[in-house]
Amino acid sequence: MKYTEEHEWLLEEGELIVVGITEHAAEQLGDIVFVELPEVGTEVSKDDEVVVIESVKAASDILAPLDGEIVEVNEALTDNPALINEDAAGTGWIFKIKPSDLSPMDDYMDEAKYNDFIA
């Protein structure tokens, strides 16, 4: 897994990148009550706002970590946004993107660097 400074995790799955928010981010947000998912097929550019997460504390935007196409979204979050709180790095994944270029992945943090970043 790779991590962004915006507290997203990125997992390579074949030619796709699975994107979610970290446990740290989920804890900071508190109980998540709504997730606005992007449309499958949407072309995004790095740093575009693609998801809105609302919690009892705040609303937060999730940014596209790479240029590419949204190819799948986690529909389970529509009925149960709390999945992110329950398993942020697993069943609480948010979307999958088919990147047009994987090289920006090299710029993101590994787990050790991310843990230092949030310490």
Domains of the chain: 2-101 (2.40.50.100)
- Token output for 11: 């997992």
Please calculate the CA angle 97-88-5 and round it to the nearest 5 degrees: 65
What is the distance between the alpha carbons of residues 99 and 16, in angstroms, rounded to a whole number?
7
Terminal C-alpha separation, the chain: 18
25-53 pLDDT, tens digit each: 999 999 999 999 999 999 999 999 999 99
The segments of the chain whose pLDDT lies below 70 read none
pTM of the entire predicted model? 0.96
> Helix, strand, coil % (nearest 5) of the chain?
25, 40, 40
